[in-house]
Homo-oligomer: A and B are copies of this chain.
Amino acid sequence: MNNWSLIDTNFEESYQLKETLYSTANGYLGVRGSFEEGVSNNIPSVRGIYINGFYESEEIVYGEKLHGFPDRSQSILNVIDTQEIIIKINGEKFSLFSGKVLFYKRILNAKTGIVTRTIEWESPKKEIVKLVFKRLASFEQLELFLINCSIEAVNFEGEIEVLSIINGDVSNIVSSDDPRVGTANAKALSVIEMTVDNNASFIEAKTKHSNLKVVGGISHQFPSNFTETIQKDKDKFTHIFKGNIKQGASINFTKFAVYTDTNRHPNELKENQSIIRSVIKNSFNYYVDLQKKYLDDFWEFADVKIEGDNEMQQGLRFNLFHLVQSVGKDRWSNISAKGLSGEGYEGHYFWDTEIYIFPFFLFTNPKFAKNLLNYRFNILDFARKRARQMGHNIGALYPWRTIAGDECSPFFPAGTAQYHINVDIAYSIIQYYKVTDDLDFMANKGLEMLIEIARLMFHIGHFRDSDNKFCIDDVTGPDEYTCIVNNNYYTNVLTKNLFTEISEIYNNVKSKHENILNSVLEKLQFQNSELTNFSKAGKAMFLPFDEKRNLHPQDDSFFNKKVWDFENTPKENYPLLLNYHPLTLYRHQVCKQADTILGHFLMENESSLEAIKNDYNYYEKITTHDSSLSTCIFSIMANRIGEYDKAYNYFMNTARLDIDNLHHNTKDGIHTACMGGSWMSIVFGFAGMRVVNGKLNFHPHLPKNWTSLSFKINFKNSILKCNLSADNFEVSLLTGNSIEILVDDNPMMIK
């Protein structure tokens, strides 16, 4: 097994799943791995191309609509289709579902960023052709998606006809009973203009409600002895290439598909045409080289080497590659729960970004991390507006799920009620500052977000009468099997973090950027007493704790509930959310993922190691891992408490969740949070890394069947190379200043 690649040799199996796995994306554009020529009708397929942040908005229908329920949805759209290429050999149409397939192999290569599909096909008339399709979504030219196709006439000669299509008649998949899939209106785009310019054809389409437009353009490189004609039909252009091929000869086509949208391209059609004119001058290989170079730079810092475990190595690289494919690279986009690989969760951005994906970018390629925070800053006004809708007269409440900034969660108990999104974002801003020392960002954007978030959290909490503890009532923590509770441990501990850290950040900004600070404070009409309040609330924060048992309940009432009857729950009833009414779940001690364990991971110093161990052992028994965000945290914390076999097993269920389709829904898209979680399991788990008092602290422990583990960490602009073997942990400085780290709490200078 080449652990840089994913290989498919059975085209008939799990087609829709593989459309996800072999998707090609660059953070702006994402193309599902559908076959250019299509598949037979009985094979389930979601053929799609998505633009990050490009969405349609529909009215959300409620059986009973209460005040503050979001009015409108936002759903990522399947945009103009440019995947289609039909090949005819002496009039016979190529299809894997007719004739005879002599050879089939598809490879996704994470090092080159290219998906290659190689086919040897015998037509019903026994003419054998060898086809190689290569596709890439360019990291250097985000608007560009390329398909290169070579055709070799193995045992015949004659006419080749290639039909390359751009089609504006596209739909999203429609609703299902699975709440994890979206419910968008199927046909949201309508074609408004079709033009041809210098053998390039362009289709412009617009949405009905969100007032966005998208242009798709295609142009081609093809053999000089071929003719090109362009045929226009309703909503589509077909470029028809005709010519002859000799036996044994090869010919080569490249389809250049360019996308522009009105978010990023105010003159969407002109800009598209201009990009097409520019890119068509370059060869396919030119972009292949650029792609490789871009990914070389990425892997230089991002790669994690696992020796002695090819499967895990492959899973991890696959995951990190999909993360760089998925992450938004401009202020309109973030990273959605499914990346750009499918329509699951409507393309929404969740807290997954901050808690599961952000750390990977922060410690390897911090520019991506910064962009993710910029996105949050850009939607801050939406968060302020949302707070007012909820009835809060101060602060900002970030949307639980959104694309453009509006709250889109139609089910508030496991949606809007998850106020922790606010402190998750605060946590990542604070982490960003601790790891990068980027005080400019804090002055210009970070502190403003922190203040607005802190205000909101202070506003919704209160000092309890009985003991003056600061309490936060009626929120939902990450665990959606227990909703609307008081003093959720996770929410409270992360709020405490914010209340505790904000003063120092405030003072640091004040000392270096007083003017900027003053203008922010004026804009926010910030009172100094607020800072005092935050600090007071931080100190008084109530963290639920059962002293007798030395255990943290997930919330005030959790331990008073009945434990779920796992023994009498048949296997096919998992995930429970698809088989029990939410109230029945809420009524029991049962976790989709364990809030308290995650809280301990992020805020380890708030608890004794003894209590952490107890909690781990308690919650492990009642956690179903029905959430794909669960196992990575259990892997990390199993390492923390010395349960190394468990740590490895949880990692296995994390690192290959999509490749092995462990949750049976990868067909709807990859699980980006789990992918980020697999990196976290390595660095925070096996290497046991934490940021403590401004320094990196490692508690490394290599899984017993691994030979070695190595990765790089960017900390305050120093690049460290970390190498862990069974009996040794080495850290060396690649670039940047010398820094002091700790290994198993022992200080060590890295020069």
Please give the residue numbers on chain A whose beta carbons come within 8 Å of chain B beta carbons, in ascending order.
60-69, 73, 177, 179, 183, 389-392, 409-413, 415-417, 460, 462, 464-466, 471, 473-475, 483-484, 486, 556-557, 559-562, 577-584, 586-587
Task: Give Cα A63–Cα B484 distance, bound, in whole angstroms.
Answer: 19
Task: Give Cα A471–Cα B588 distance, bound, in whole angstroms.
Answer: 12
Task: Give Cα A179–Cα B64 distance, bound, in whole angstroms.
Answer: 5
Whether A66 pairs with B410 at a CB distance below 8 angstroms is no
Whether B62 pairs with A417 at a CB distance below 8 angstroms is no
Whether A484 pairs with B484 at a CB distance below 8 angstroms is yes
Would A562 and B462 be within 8 Å (CB), given that A65-B179, A389-B581, A583-B390 are in contact? yes
Whether B60 pairs with A583 at a CB distance below 8 angstroms is no
- Closest beta carbon of chain B to A255's beta carbon, Å: 38
For A562, list chain B residues within 8 Å (CB).
462, 473
Contact of A579 (CB < 8 Å), options: B67, B177, B392, B578: B67
List, sorted by A's number, 8 A–B pairs whose CB atoms are closer than 8 Å: A60-B63, A63-B73, A63-B410, A391-B579, A412-B583, A474-B561, A474-B586, A475-B583
Task: Give Cα A560–Cα B581 distance, bound, in whole angstroms.
Answer: 28
Would A179 and B66 be within 8 Å (CB), given that A464-B560, A562-B462 are in contact? yes
Whether A67 pairs with B561 at a CB distance below 8 angstroms is no
Whether A578 pairs with B466 at a CB distance below 8 angstroms is no
Given pairs A61-B62, A391-B580, A473-B561, 16 additional interface contacts (CB within 8 A): A62-B63, A62-B183, A64-B183, A64-B411, A68-B581, A69-B581, A391-B584, A392-B584, A416-B581, A417-B583, A462-B562, A471-B560, A473-B557, A474-B561, A484-B484, A556-B560
Whether B486 pairs with A483 at a CB distance below 8 angstroms is no
For A486, list chain B residues within 8 Å (CB).
557, 560-561
Contact of A67 (CB < 8 Å), options: B60, B410, B560, B582: B582
For A391, list chain B residues within 8 Å (CB).
579-581, 584
Task: Across the interface, name the chain B residue whose C-beta is closest to A585.
Answer: B391
For A474, list chain B residues within 8 Å (CB).
561, 583, 586-587
- Closest beta carbon of chain B to A31's beta carbon, Å: 28
Whether A416 pairs with B67 at a CB distance below 8 angstroms is no
Contact of A557 (CB < 8 Å), options: B183, B415, B557, B584: B557
For A560, list chain B residues within 8 Å (CB).
464, 466, 471, 473, 486, 556
For A389, list chain B residues within 8 Å (CB).
581
- Closest beta carbon of chain B to A671's beta carbon, Å: 18
For A464, list chain B residues within 8 Å (CB).
560
| Majority-rule SS of A interface residues | loop
Would A68 and B413 be within 8 Å (CB), given that A63-B183, A183-B63, A464-B560 are in contact? no
- Closest beta carbon of chain B to A544's beta carbon, Å: 11
Task: Give Cα A498–Cα B363 distance, bound, in whole angstroms.
Answer: 61
- Closest beta carbon of chain B to A570's beta carbon, Å: 12
For A68, list chain B residues within 8 Å (CB).
580-584
Whether B557 pairs with A484 at a CB distance below 8 angstroms is no
Whether B587 pairs with A460 at a CB distance below 8 angstroms is yes
Task: Across the interface, name the chain B residue whose C-beta is closest to A176.
Answer: B65
Task: Give Cα A584–Cα B412 distance, bound, in whole angstroms.
Answer: 12
Task: Give Cα A67–Cα B584 distance, bound, in whole angstroms.
Answer: 10
- Closest beta carbon of chain B to A385's beta carbon, Å: 13
Task: Across the interface, name the chain B residue whose C-beta is closest to A542.
Answer: B560
Task: Give Cα A550–Cα B258 distance, bound, in whole angstroms.
Answer: 73
Whether B586 pairs with A66 at a CB distance below 8 angstroms is no
For A390, list chain B residues within 8 Å (CB).
580-581, 583-584
Task: Across the interface, name the chain B residue whose C-beta is closest to A586.
Answer: B474
- Closest beta carbon of chain B to A210's beta carbon, Å: 17
Whether B61 pairs with A409 at a CB distance below 8 angstroms is no
Task: Across the interface, name the chain B residue whose C-beta is closest to A71.
Answer: B177
Task: Across the interface, name the chain B residue whose C-beta is closest to A63.
Answer: B410
Task: Give Cα A283–Cα B506 distance, bound, in whole angstroms.
Answer: 88
For A582, list chain B residues within 8 Å (CB).
66-68, 412
- Closest beta carbon of chain B to A152's beta carbon, Å: 50
Task: Across the interface, name the chain B residue whose C-beta is closest to A476.
Answer: B583
For A69, list chain B residues within 8 Å (CB).
581
For A73, list chain B residues within 8 Å (CB).
63
Task: Give Cα A66–Cα B486 distance, bound, in whole angstroms.
Answer: 23
For A473, list chain B residues within 8 Å (CB).
557, 560-562, 586-587
Whether A63 pairs with B61 at a CB distance below 8 angstroms is yes
Task: Across the interface, name the chain B residue whose C-beta is closest to A461.
Answer: B562
Task: Give Cα A580–Cα B65 distance, bound, in whole angstroms.
Answer: 12
Task: Give Cα A64–Cα B175 distance, bound, in whole angstroms.
Answer: 10
- Closest beta carbon of chain B to A33's beta carbon, Å: 28
Task: Give Cα A581–Cα B419 distance, bound, in whole angstroms.
Answer: 14
Whether B586 pairs with A63 at a CB distance below 8 angstroms is no
For A61, list chain B residues within 8 Å (CB).
61-63
For A416, list chain B residues within 8 Å (CB).
581, 583
- Closest beta carbon of chain B to A487's beta carbon, Å: 8
For A411, list chain B residues within 8 Å (CB).
62-64, 66
Task: Give Cα A389–Cα B582 distance, bound, in whole angstroms.
Answer: 11
Task: Across the interface, name the chain B residue whose C-beta is closest to A179.
Answer: B64
Task: Give Cα A246–Cα B177 distance, bound, in whole angstroms.
Answer: 70
For A63, list chain B residues within 8 Å (CB).
60-62, 73, 183, 409-411
Contact of A62 (CB < 8 Å), options: B409, B410, B465, B583: B410
Task: Across the interface, name the chain B residue whose C-beta is closest to A560.
Answer: B464
- Closest beta carbon of chain B to A571's beta carbon, Å: 16
Task: Give Cα A483–Cα B586 distance, bound, in whole angstroms.
Answer: 12
With a 10 A CB-CB cut-off, give which of A409, A474, A559, A561 has the most chain B CB atoms. Answer: A474
